[in-house]
Amino acid sequence: MSDERADSEAEQRAFDAKARWHREQAALPLKAKFRLLLQLQRQELPLVERQRVLKPWERPWDIEP
């Protein structure tokens, strides 16, 4: 198998896996999507705070879905 063909097959597998992941995420219930959104915001918060002072509206909500 040529390197070019192997690369093409690897790209196709990655594309298929990404598409499958997106379909799975889209099928999640709203509550799970909201939980993920809050989790990602909380993960990002320390990174942004190291860069600059946060605006009041940039803080994640202190709630649990």
Give residues with Cβ within 8 angstroms of 34, minimum separation 6: 65
In a domain, 64, yes or no: no
In a domain, 32, yes or no: yes
> Which tokens belong to 41?
């915001």
Judge whether residue 11 has pLDDT over 80: yes
CA distance 38 to 28: 15
Structural domain range at position 36: 3-58
In a domain, 63, yes or no: no
In a domain, 65, yes or no: no
Mean pLDDT of the chain, nearest integer: 86
Number of domains observed in the structure of the chain: 1
In a domain, 37, yes or no: yes
At residue 65, the pLDDT reads: 61
Judge whether residue 23 has pLDDT over 90: yes
Closest of 23, 20, 18, 65 to residue 41, by C-alpha? 65
At residue 44, the pLDDT reads: 87
Count of Cβ atoms closer than 10 Å to residue 37 Cβ:
13
